Homo-oligomer: A and B are copies of this chain.
């Protein structure tokens, strides 16, 4: 099962913001058993975003998660780009508009904004591509969108980390089925990674797991992450590699 992530925002391309969203999304997709193949970051440019979505769809991932650019300002153009890429018109989501209205009334009551009214900028957030299921935003104004398009599950999420995380956990992951992967980290006490490589390859062929390795401490250890369906299979992989003469410490 393959996945791709697209993050949107000029602040990511000028380095004013570190893109921690894509790591969070990637870790959750990995736990669900998806192989994230590519993460692409693009600015708030409707034609650029559209191109990148079309390129991603061409590679036929099972899941595409897009994050950022759903707010009320003129450079929040992600929904428009999705609409253009999928050739699905933007349509008013009445339920979303009602939520947005209530959201600003609440902010106004709390004294956080001067004006509770729905102006054009705020209304804009209630428009979703035709056929989209709105995704509830418990932490902010802009709804997300879920679209099944040519067999690809597309999720469009806000870019504010607090809003994105809540929506990912509450609205996206439950739509990606029951399957979960866990990961465990080990330090292999071996200084020559070339001796470890064939044993790792053998383990991957024998068991239904993924293994990543990287040198730690200038080659004193090899750090290993094993991804598998449960603790039991990971334990079996460790036992197998120990039987091939590798010693392990748990954790990094």
Contact = CB atoms under 8 A, between A and B. Distances in A.
Interface of A: 10-20, 22-28, 30, 35-43, 48, 52, 55, 71-75, 107, 112-115, 119-121, 183, 191-194, 197, 212-215, 217-220, 222, 225, 227
Contacts of A43: 37
B12 A16 contact: no
Contact of A15 (B12, B23, B41): B23
A22 B14 CA distance: 10
A219 B15 contact: no
A115 B219 CA distance: 10
A38 to B, nearest CB: 6
Given A72-B215, A215-B71, A220-B112, A38 B42 contact: yes
B213 A73 contact: yes
B38 A26 contact: no
A26 B41 CA distance: 11
A39 B12 contact: yes
Given A14-B227, A30-B15, A38-B42, A119 B74 contact: no
B212 A119 contact: no
A192 to B, nearest CB: 7
B24 A52 contact: no
